[in-house]
Structure 1
């Protein structure tokens, strides 16, 4: 039974040999981010109104801010990984650049959230006055 399972598992994994590593990595990065944000949305809905949105935007900025990794096989990576790597290696330019990327995405998210809340409040005011 174990030999059959091993044979099946190896044939299943051989399907991924034809797919480039970069495509698999980006798919896992995007898919994992979407799953984590969807799971956090379920929690954030139960939090008080501004706190749930703020935590969701912060998590989005941490997980979804991309950067380019360094090295021979450089590719797309989350900026938080670059930030952690910069802290561990004590490279200030790496820390600041990745932190800046995360803060820009968070700032954009907060601005969009502010505009959305104003739009919703204006929409409700028009509905009540009609």
Structure 2
């Protein structure tokens, strides 16, 4: 046990925190995907995109030890401290990722429906 704890002491705290956060977010999004695929078609994808944006939109924290942080934490910190600039900057980042995800999802659904029509035409035989 001591060797394991000494191994953890040699790894910087920032890397452990980022690794745990990213792995936790992946697990949460994977679990939500299992739920979202049972929802009606556009609603499941939209909720997954919103969850992705809330969990994984990055921002830069302020202060002496500034580093990359999730925008939702900056948004919550801005709400608690009543700093409207911080709230709006982090909310706009999250909404940008949601909008980008919705555009990519729309284009992907158009591509898959067009691809399905081509496959149906190739497989249908003339009478």
User: Normalized against structure 1, the TM-score is what?
Assistant: 0.88
Query: How far apart are the structure 2 equivalents of 1:112 and 1:58?
Result: 13
Q: Runs ≥4 in structure 1, deviation > 6 angstroms? A: none
Q: CA RMSD in A?
A: 1.1
Tell me how far 1:72 sits from its aligned partner.
2.5
Number of matched pairs = 122
Tell me how far 1:73 sits from its aligned partner.
2.3
Deviation string for 1:61-92 (max 9, x for gaps)? 00010111122322221100000000111101
Q: Does 1:66 align with 2:80?
A: no
Q: Is the 8 A contact 1:26 1:76 kept in 2?
A: no
Gaps of 5+ in 1: 1-7
Query: How far apart are the structure 1 equivalents of 2:67 and 2:24?
Result: 17
User: Normalized against structure 2, the TM-score is what?
Assistant: 0.90
Partner residue, 2:125: none
Partner residue, 1:15: 7
Tell me how far 1:23 sits from its aligned partner.
1.2
Between stretches 50-59 and 25-34, larger displacement belongs to 25-34
Q: Does 1:78 align with 2:59?
A: no
Tell me how far 1:14 sits from its aligned partner.
2.1
Query: How far apart are the structure 2 equivalents of 1:28 and 1:79?
Result: 17
Q: Report the secondary structure of 1:70's partner residue.
A: coil
2:106 counterpart (109, 114, 119): 114
Q: Is the 8 A contact 1:22 1:75 kept in 2?
A: no
Partner residue, 1:50: 42
Tell me how far 1:15 sits from its aligned partner.
1.3
